[in-house]
Chains A and B, each alone.
Chain A
């Protein structure tokens, strides 16, 4: 193979304004993080709520949560993204449609779609982790809290959830990393996140290998830092005298 490696490419002008290729990567990384973090907030909040619902004695509540999980887990992520981006806006009331399609910049509307899509998709997976975490707790915890006169919401808030979350930090960490990786689907609806910028750099500069090498390194470093962060969180929350999580 005859390929001219040129690592200086990232400092060369893109030919658009004063930008160098590295600027594209920085901006792409920024979008990737912005998509993943916003999606994660939705996923964690909604997923926790659904996870709790699945463990409630109330049949309706748990059926709703189960239906949600089945639906969002069994439709491919890309299909969901296209639905959120291409179909759902057409179902909105007219004013909202105009706002979404005309008032917002294309980047913002793509961003909103992908955040909602990843948030709701990941919520189904978080839900299952939270449910497993709660169900793994000894039944006596629930009894003890009820015996003290707690309302059901207090039982969850003060007794069950703090323990369940400690137990599920490792699987939640991998969902957290997944949402960063999955955020690359945004490139398919034109959001210039890390993968899209990489492809664009490869096309503009013809330095395909350098571009994808840098992208790989960036994704890798990002994931490693997130893993370190979650490891730190886990240590911070560890209960003295106990290994791992609840007994």
Chain B
């Protein structure tokens, strides 16, 4: 479904992605983790070309996204993206946030779009909030709406960039729960997260990124119990006991 082949990217002198190769099969859930600034957000953003790449290839659903001939808007419509800071449209109601792209990009009928949005809100447990505005919701609720918004385009792949790291601890569970349901429904997912519980329970593979390189790729159990690289070991230690 997604295939990175020798991808390189520079921000000026900074080599943010260094020879990244990775495959995410259909239906697979891959968790990406790594220290701050290691290039995780950049990596996940190259999938739908919110960030361009300097060399290499990224294939999504049979299309090379780095090819100038690829219709990016059509590609992006098939790839859902959930942001760390939700990025809901603050001037639109919850329902309108979800229906905007089906209406404008897919040219869906209003009635059908509303029905779809309500189904999705039901799925994330927020049908009763359809008329609220984003600023009236808690962080956890906003992120669940953002997931529903991503799903409204009926995407083939969902990308998550640290979906719970801006949330208060008591709200993390509700968002992870929705993501777990989604994974169980067979969605292909690439998730940047440091939620170890989620990775263990849901992920098929964990990818560890450091300085723009994938330095470890393993089954969750294996990665957590028996990391190979020193930097991965150190990262996991810090995650478990942040104060040391």
Contact = CB atoms under 8 A, between A and B. Distances in A.
A163 B73 contact: no
B125 interface: no
Contact of B74 (A138, A149, A239): A149
Contact of B77 (A148, A162, A246, A247): A148
A38 B176 CA distance: 55
A160 to B, nearest CB: 10
Interface in B48-75: 48, 50, 73-75
A143 B153 contact: no
Nearest to B131: A240
A163 to B, nearest CB: 5
Interface stretch (B19-27, B82-90, B207-215): B82-90
Interface stretch (B99-107, B221-229, B232-240): B99-107
Contacts, number: 77
A150 interface: yes
Instruction: Name which of B79, B81, B89, B135 has the most chain A CB atoms within 10 A of its CB.
Output: B89
B73 to A, nearest CB: 5
A247 B76 CA distance: 26
B133 A140 contact: no
B91 interface: yes
Interface string B120-139: 00000000000011111000
B87 A143 contact: yes
B116 to A, nearest CB: 14
A75 B100 CA distance: 43
Contacts of A45: none
Nearest to B90: A246
Contacts of A159: 89
A135 interface: no
A148 B76 CA distance: 6
Nearest to B93: A240
A140 B134 CA distance: 15
Given A140-B83, A146-B50, A147-B81, A162 B153 contact: no
Given A148-B105, A241-B132, A242-B90, 4 more contacts: A143-B81, A162-B91, A166-B91, A241-B135
Interface of A: 138, 140-141, 143-151, 154, 158-159, 162-163, 166, 239-242, 246-247
Cβ-closest 10 pairs across A and B = A149-B77, A241-B135, A241-B136, A144-B87, A140-B87, A147-B81, A148-B101, A149-B76, A242-B135, A149-B73
